[in-house]
A and B are shown apart, each in its own frame.
Chain A
Amino acid sequence: MEFINQPWPWYLSGVAIALIMLLLQLSGKKFGMSSNLRTICSICGAGNQAQFFRFDWKAQKWNLIVVLGAIIGGFIAAHFMTNSSAVLINSNTITNLKTLGFESAGSAYVPSELFGANAFADPKTLLILFIGGLFVGFGARYAGGCTSGHAISGLSNLQVPSLIAVIGFFIGGLIMTHLIFPIIF
């Protein structure tokens, strides 16, 4: 049972994701998490402001169940299945993060500098989290999908647009990590 409490290897996660996608395919659904953001906007009444949000969101209820599953899964994994939440990333990455001021690198699940108890009191942290989310939401809808919709289910169906989007994801990610991080941290 010790295995349960250790971090799981990458291939197990890959198989689990593929299994979720297969179950959704066999249910006649599409695997895509960011569509839920649009659905939630519609539920909150965004249809009054933009045509984009006027669609039959009730038909997307199944996808909100997937979101609920992700929340419950996170809760169970973090509270009942974890001995140590430290993520053992490459030691070079840890050294690099410490020079940027991330002292929690190598000893936490997410940086306590961004996700710790003080986050709500620090305007710079709030801004970083907010802008990060804003770009994810805007970019995902503009590109018509996120990691699940393009990198996994789109590429699984050999879609060229998904390949272009994934190349875009990496261009953006590399610019942020290598060019912008040294400026903001």
Chain B
Amino acid sequence: MYKSEAASWFRIYEMFRFEAFHMYGIIGTALVIGVINTLLIKRYDIKSFFGSSIMFVPKEKGIRRYIIGGVIFGLGWALAGACPGPMFTLLGAGFLPILIVILGALLGTFLYGLLRSNLPH
């Protein structure tokens, strides 16, 4: 994350301005290999390290929660320049103000838990 600059605020900003292939390359490469791996696991019923079948739980159907939640996430992603993984990478790298972002993210998660039954899903 850190070495490929995926944890850099600048790379996220550049991505949303479509001025570099970098972030699309990272996500795209992971995705292409991920699709192949997932297909192979399903096709050949590859077992887990513990010998059990690997289950793929389909995401719940719906549109509203994904579009509304997605837009809210995107607004935050562009503003803070970090998503939930790289946040912790930045913490390890010693950028302490990221603690405010992490605190915000925890409170945002808590807020969702409180309001969940009142939100359209």
Interface string of A51-86 (1 = CB under 8 A from B): 011000000000000010011111111110110000
Within 8 A of A (CB), among B1-48: 1-17, 19-23, 25-31, 33-35, 37-38, 41, 46, 48
Residues of the A chain whose Cβ atoms lie less than 8 Å from the Cβ of B101:
129-130, 132-133, 136
How many Å lie between the Cα of A132 and that of B50 in the bound state?
Answer: 40
Residues of B within 8 Å of A140, CB to CB, are 69, 73, 83-84, 105, 108-109
Count CB-based A-B contacts (< 8 Å).
437
Q: Is the CB–CB distance between A14 and B54 below 8 Å?
A: no
Main secondary structure of the interface of B (DSSP, over half): helix
Tell me the smallest distance from the CB of A131 to a CB of chain B, in Å: 7
Q: Contact check, B88 vs A8: say whether CB atoms are below 8 A apart.
A: no
Alpha-carbon distance between A75 and B91 when the two chains are bound, in angstroms: 8
Closest CB-CB distance, B75 to chain A, in whole Å? 4
Q: How far is the CA of A111 from the CA of B23 in the complex (A)?
A: 18
Do A172 and B74 have beta carbons less than 8 Å apart?
yes
Q: Is the CB of B92 within 8 A of A152?
A: no
- Once the chains are docked, how many angstroms separate the CA of A139 from the CA of B83? 11
Contact partners of B67 in chain A: CB under 8 A: 164-165, 167-168, 171
Query: Closest Cβ of chain A: how far from B121's Cβ, in Å?
Result: 8
A118–B20 Cα gap in the complex (Å)? Answer: 30
B2 near A141 with CB under 8 A, answer no
Residues from chain B with a CB closer than 8 A to the CB of A132 are 76-77, 79-82, 101, 104
Which 5 interchain pairs have the tightest Cβ spacing?
A: A168-B70, A172-B74, A14-B29, A133-B104, A137-B108
Spell out A's residues near B (CB within 8 Å). 7-18, 21-22, 25-28, 30, 33-34, 36-38, 40-41, 44, 46, 49-50, 52-53, 67, 70-79, 81-82, 87, 89-90, 92-93, 96-97, 105, 108-111, 114-116, 119-120, 125-126, 128-148, 150-162, 164-178, 180-181
Show 7 residue pairs from A and B whose CB-CB distance is below 8 angstroms, ordered by the A residue: A70-B88, A70-B92, A72-B92, A97-B13, A130-B101, A161-B59, A167-B70
Beyond A77-B1, A129-B101, list 11 extra A-B contacts (CB 8 Å).
Answer: A13-B6, A28-B52, A41-B110, A52-B116, A73-B2, A110-B81, A134-B104, A136-B82, A161-B62, A168-B66, A168-B73
B interface, CB within 8 angstroms of A: 1-17, 19-23, 25-31, 33-35, 37-38, 41, 46, 48-50, 52, 54-63, 65-98, 100-114, 116, 119
